[in-house]
Amino acid sequence: MLNGKTAIVTGSTSGIGLGIAEAFARAGANIVLNGFGDATEIERTRTDLSKRTNAMVVYSPADMSRPKAIEQMVRQTVDTFGTVDIMVNNAGIQHVAPIDEFPEEKWDAIMAINLSSAFHATKLVLPMMRRKGWGRVINVASAHALVASPYKAAYVAAKHGVLGLTKVTALETAEDGITCNAICPGYVRTPLVERQIDDQAKAHGIDREKVISDVLLKNQPNKRFVEVAELAALALFLCTDNGASVTGAALPMDGGWTAH
């Protein structure tokens, strides 16, 4: 399905990004993983993904808060595979605090990684996609690109910005064989969320199931986590010929959260 295509997936050493990378690899794409973590574990992840999918998989340690590092990641991809066909902007961080107590350095970091990195990466890959007459830009946003929650000022602002960037990119590339869409998940079952469950249980003095139903999934009417495999399947669909007319869209996968 994606034979001969090359995909960069940022924030892909675990969680959503790794799930998307695996789906693309199984469909025949070359993969560039990116993210922070233990070097030995990342190399294990890279080699395991390659062995299980027979895909060519490389790793970029680019810090997504630094435009020059993003440029180096794209250059590494072109040097290795010749081009970039699919750009998945998934890298993100979070911090929770009231606005009047929100650390300025946290605001700046969240804006840089969650929003500005998507701009810098998209800017770099669009010329290649235009030359080939085909490309896919997928921004992993959030239900918080559509609605807000207290204490998440930077995250919500950045994700709303990602959706705006998605729409502009789609309009500017509509006649070029390129699509750009934002996937907007609710709470997803990832290792990061699993740790949040344990932390919240200790903080509130309640059991895990109560945390899941009354805290994390309070706003998701179906009361279940989004699975990484579901998001990966949607991302893969957007890269097929059948997804060619889907562009500029915010695609919620949130169990009904944003239907309120």
Q: Is 131 exposed, middle or buried (0-12, 13-18, 19+ CB in 10 A)?
A: exposed
Contact 6, 82 (CB under 8 A): yes
Beta strand ranges found along 37-134 (DSSP E): 57-60, 86-89
Cα 49 off chain centre by: 18
Q: Find the catalytic residue in 59, 151, 155, 187.
A: 155
Q: Is 16 exposed, middle or buried (0-12, 13-18, 19+ CB in 10 A)?
A: buried
CA distances from 71 to 42, 50, 118, 133, 227 (A): 21, 24, 12, 22, 31
Please confirm, yes or no, whether 59 is among the known catalytic residues. no
Q: Show which residues are catalytic.
A: 155
